[in-house]
Structure 1
């Protein structure tokens, strides 16, 4: 009995020591992911070359990613989900990964720092070394933990295809190559990873409310966005008052709204949603225009689910694409993007902000309360005209215009 007690004490002290050594007071890495339209353009090309609709199950494919793009994506994920940052250095046959995750306030420290080097093998990489804070983790232990985690995923019927897809990872200076084997079951399994069951249930509740709202006899062919939002946020308020998480309820309302406004079904992200009741198709307008409501809701959903850096640049990227022969670059579309982003942030960042948005919509908001006046802003500019008037993205003239858009949004009561 005494031996067992001593063993428990030793194990407890070892765990406390490991925790103490793992947590530090200073971050190992710092930095915010800054997306540009060029990054989005490259990502779009990678996705186009590896479109799953053109892939055959069992066929090996290779994706090549630059260190810059890989580092940006990993850093963005660390920014968004761990309040941290990361840095990746690719070398011939080696990859060094450094990352910092911010922890809740505690007496030991605020940061979990990870420093690892992985070396290339004929299959998946193995650890050269792994340090968690000041705690060195033996390479064989790190390799075992990695293999154990992969085996657990492979054995899971829901995630097995996703865990088994990658066959080889190799590195050269500034480049990463991933060889993977496509599996037809992968898309649905990845969607299951992205949208947990509890979140699916929440989204279904708003989908059902949308079916009720759009299916009423005598309903108009078109809806104003502020009216649609008021009705969905009314449900968000009810569910919050019944013990729901206000930010989570708002997020679900925004996602359902965005998919509906843009003519997409939730089956695109939730396989089970293909069988859900479908709302009646209506045109949803903002400021009398359908494109404004689309810009607004897409940016709101992106901000509500992934933060603002990505939603900002996706809106900007679309406008740049339009200037290359589409409808043209429009600052009023940028205004709709930015207003939507502000709503998505405010409605989901904190409980206070989430409940403020619910109260505002329940009290009744006009279109002019959620979207600033934009009739005087330049639009439909083709590339030549845009360059003549503004030079390039980031020029003084361009920044002056975007600052004016931000000023107009900031004075609206909803965003104060």
Structure 2
């Protein structure tokens, strides 16, 4: 993506600047005699034109390059970071974002300085106002190209407001620099006056926005029993055969979520959300301390938002900030650019794009999430955080002990795999009578991954084996094969553990488990059988923890004797041990048409397994 955009940026900027490169001493002399302009200023501009043109092309290219590759890291927060963020964590995030934005805007200001130097000599030919228009037009074009190169697509209007402001400030400084020492010295008082005006505006806005008392409403009470019900609602229900997730939350549920979030960030704050007739009425009193005294930022918003297949639209009917009411005309002008900015932002559009639809109906909000990361990991993470479940290590340790201590009488051969899985879910069913079946199913599969997948799974979960249990497991839990293949057992359970632990662990720890699967292959080449085992493990993890109903249903199915076809189909006929050249030639690599067809066949076979549906 970047090479094309960076190259286009460089060529367009260079072409625009080269258009006016012809100049000569006679032209300078003739124009100076007609306009009476100071010779020193034009001489300075003449000396700066070509260095500025070269520098602006290089700077634009560098900003596109560095911005495009750096942009994803600006919001590089693992899922647990968002779910478990508290006030210090959010403060750290804000500081980092301010630093990133500050350095980015400094680059646009530098472009403004260079643009004035590069185009400043054109006043002699086209006049002062025409030159000003050219500089402004160049700013819009260059800022649009740079921001587009950083985002990887055409930017929305909201993406250009701050860059154009920084560009204009830079052009102002550039004008003073070429006009001489007096103009440079005059910059100090001008900046001082500008900062003074901004400071006065900030004080006025702060005085109007901050109030001594919060808004007069009672927030929704937060209780553990209600939290668990809310957590189960967030897990939603299955919507269709492709594992889309439908979540319906009432106004009370949303207030519960907002209250939990505010309790982490600002315990003295409160909020209330009401949904009536397809419109949301939101009130927020955010507690601050100003000179040691409590003050409140009171916000009141009324409007609606909806998403249709990843397309966001926003309607704002009312907004008041403290004593200030924003006119509805301004809201009508601002709301569409905000929605457009969100739709075009590389990070936010991935979140919005993961949502099939959002509807405000009656007194509730109904959301359908598409299959993907947000559906499979982020929502379960929020549900776990809200429910206040204990650390996974505690129940996992109990499951490990149960499986290891009962391993003396395991059957031989193929039956060992099915029997261990049966015992794990039978134990999970018994513990779920007075507990959470989702937590118990997670713990059961992670315990199996520790014992049968790879020892490094334990380094991610935490210590669950003592020396005695480790010795017993090494003696009794060898030779557990899936369809006669020990490596498929490892792929099955490690993949299941990755899918489960990703809901609460950081990305670097999950990366350790991702490496495990590749390391276990021993460099033998690509195997569609391994891929089938991976996908089967992930699917079992998904079904076992999707919601309370699916968790209990799977316990009932696997807690009794079952054939291996229940959890894994026959895949011995799939291609194995393909080296890179063979894989590319026969299947077109990952994403090739033949590859996609075979993956679809694997998914079809998995869909025939009763426990994976």
Question: Taking structure 2 as the reference length, what is the TM-score of the superposition?
Answer: 0.38
The answer on 1:234 being equivalent to 2:238 is: no
User: Can you give the 5+ residue segments of structure 2 that lack an aligned partner in the other structure?
Assistant: 1-68, 86-92, 103-233, 235-246, 259-270, 272-281, 291-345, 347-384
Compute the displacement of 1:266 (Å). Answer: 7.1
Compute the displacement of 1:106 (Å). Answer: 3.2
Please identify runs of 4+ aligned residues in structure 1 that moved more than 6 A. Answer: 78-82, 87-92, 138-141, 310-323
8 Å contact kept, 2:450–2:458: no
Q: For 1:353-396, what per-residue CA distance to the aligned partner results, in whole angstroms no more than 9, with x for missing partners?
A: 11111111123221122112211211111111111112232222
8 Å contact kept, 2:526–2:578: yes
* More relative contact order, 1 or 2 (CA 8 Å, 6+ apart): 1
Among candidates 88, 92, 100, match of residue 94 of structure 1: 100
The answer on 1:297 being equivalent to 2:490 is: no
Tell me the number of residue pairs that the alignment of Structure 1 and Structure 2 aligns.
277
Q: For 1:170-212, what per-residue CA distance to the aligned partner results, in whole angstroms no more than 9, with x for missing partners?
A: xxxx9xxxxxxxxxxxxxxxxxx9x986643322221221122
Aligned 1:313-352 pairs, distance under 5 A: 326-352=523-549
8 Å contact kept, 2:421–2:558: yes
In the aligned structure 2, how far is the partner of 1:80 from the partner of 1:410?
32
Is the radius of gyration larger for structure 1 or structure 2?
Answer: 2
Among candidates 553, 560, 572, match of residue 363 of structure 1: 560
The answer on 1:68 being equivalent to 2:72 is: yes
8 Å contact kept, 2:495–2:538: yes
Compute the displacement of 1:227 (Å). Answer: 1.4
Where does residue 249 of structure 2 map in the other structure? 105
8 Å contact kept, 2:396–2:464: no
Among candidates 292, 301, 306, match of residue 502 of structure 2: 306
Among candidates 244, 257, 261, match of residue 452 of structure 2: 261
SS at 1:105 equivalent: strand
Q: For 1:267-295, what per-residue CA distance to the aligned partner results, in whole angstroms no more than 9, with x for missing partners?
A: 52324744673342222110011111111
When the two chains are superposed, the root-mean-square deviation of aligned CA atoms in Å is 4.9
8 Å contact kept, 1:229–1:361: yes
Going from structure 1 to structure 2, the CA distance change for 1:78 and 1:352 (only over 3 Å counts) comes to: farther
Where does residue 283 of structure 1 map in the other structure? 479
Among candidates 596, 601, 609, match of residue 404 of structure 1: 601
8 Å contact kept, 2:425–2:444: yes
User: Can you give the 5+ residue segments of structure 1 that lack an aligned partner in the other structure?
Assistant: 1-64, 97-101, 114-131, 142-173, 175-192
Going from structure 1 to structure 2, the CA distance change for 1:314 and 1:401 (only over 3 Å counts) comes to: farther
SS at 1:280 equivalent: helix
Compute the displacement of 1:329 (Å). Answer: 0.7
Where does residue 570 of structure 2 map in the other structure? 373
8 Å contact kept, 2:526–2:576: yes
8 Å contact kept, 1:295–1:315: no
Where does residue 245 of structure 1 map in the other structure? 436
Going from structure 1 to structure 2, the CA distance change for 1:273 and 1:389 (only over 3 Å counts) comes to: same
Q: Which has the higher helix share?
A: 2
Q: For 1:198-255, what per-residue CA distance to the aligned partner results, in whole angstroms no more than 9, with x for missing partners?
A: 6433222212211222234x875886321110111111111123x1211111111111
